[in-house]
Amino acid sequence: MDSGVTVITNPTVNVRLTTTLSSFEVQRRFNRGISVAELKGKLEMIVGALASCMDLELYSINDKFLQKIDDNEALLGSYPVDDDCRIHVIDRSGGKMGEFSDVSKVEKFELSDEAYDKKTDSARSFMKKQRVGRYNEEDMAKKKAELAAREEEQKAAADAISVGNRCQVQVPGQPTKLGTVMYVGTTDFKPGYWVGVKYDEPLGKHSGSVGGKCYFECENKYGAFVKPLSVTVGDFPEEDYGLDEM
């Protein structure tokens, strides 16, 4: 007896794809009406294996092996393929996992700096014509002069600071800090002049050592290096934080 109920199957199916050539999993939607041969052709573009060298295995949503998909003339829909099932592509050509993602063996195009400089259609050529960045001699000379003047300012400020001075440190974006000057001069970690300070509070970054070199000694987190122009020396007595109160 006709129950009057019509079962409509979704014409497409969303499956997970894995392959012996990669550790990645991707998702694709296929029409159930395509043949297995057509499916392999589509998979060729996705996983990089030749259709003629593919073996396909079907797994359930829970990754339980169901069966092989081995009839090229059969329709995909003739297999128990449901949404979120997994089709595993086995490459029989001898390819290895990661072969298509490992670029270490790919021959690289190399161009000498001299040859690149002669090209007229390169980014460098465009920048030279437009006088952009380091190819703007006037702008670069101005920046160089400004940097030199700034460095002279820093040196002059450093010359006015002595080890043992009490100081106030004002770095943009940070609270004002009080401390004692422990070091003045150049360093190995960055060019220019620096002032090593032992703060009155643990507001620093280290104990006077940077990059394995000790410039001065203090308790950890009490030491810091700042630029000379951020330091003002003077009569700045240590704050009484009430440590002796009971």
Task: Give the number of other Cβ atoms within 10 Å of residue 163's Cβ.
Answer: 13
Please report, for residues 18, 185, 206, the alpha-carbon distance to residue 191 in angstroms, rounded to integers and kept in the order given. Answer: 53, 10, 19
C-alpha–C-alpha distance, residues 114 and 118, integer Å: 7
pLDDT over 90 percentage in the chain: 58
Please report, for residues 54, 87, 100, 199, the alpha-carbon distance to residue 20 in angstroms, rounded to integers and kept in the order given. Answer: 10, 11, 11, 60
Contact 225, 187 (CB under 8 A): yes
Q: 63 in the Ramachandran plot: left (φ > 0), alpha (ψ -120 to 50) or beta?
A: left
Grade residue 8 by pLDDT with cuts at 50, 70 and 90: very low
Enter the tokens of residue 142. 């101005």
CA angle 243, 197, 149 (to 5 degrees): 150
Does the pLDDT of residue 77 top 70, yes or no?
yes
Written as one string, the DSSP assignment of 170-195 is --TTS--EEEEEEEEEE-SSSSSEEE
Contact 183, 147 (CB under 8 A): no
Does the pLDDT of residue 246 top 50, yes or no?
no
Give the pLDDT mean for 72-92: 93
Longest dimension (CA), the chain: 106
Q: Which structural domains are found in the chain, ordered by start? A: 12-91 (3.10.20.90), 159-233 (2.30.30.190)
Instruction: Please tell me the least confidently modeled range out of 43-47, 141-145, 192-196.
Output: 141-145
Three-class DSSP category at 28? strand
pLDDT the model gives residue 80? 93
Contact 180, 167 (CB under 8 A): yes
Residue with the bigger pLDDT between 241 and 137: it is 137
Q: 127 in the Ramachandran plot: left (φ > 0), alpha (ψ -120 to 50) or beta?
A: alpha
Whole-prediction pTM: 0.46
Q: Are strands 12-19 and 86-91 parallel, antiparallel or unpaired?
A: parallel
Tokens 């009971």 correspond to 246
Contact 160, 193 (CB under 8 A): no
pLDDT the model gives residue 103? 60
Q: Are strands 86-91 and 231-233 parallel, antiparallel or unpaired?
A: unpaired
Task: Give the number of other Cβ atoms within 10 Å of residue 169's Cβ.
Answer: 23
208 φ/ψ angles, rounded to the nearest 5 degrees: 100, 0
pLDDT the model gives residue 78? 93
Enter the tokens of residue 102. 């490992």
Enter the tokens of residue 168. 């106030």
Grade residue 1 by pLDDT with cuts at 50, 70 and 90: very low
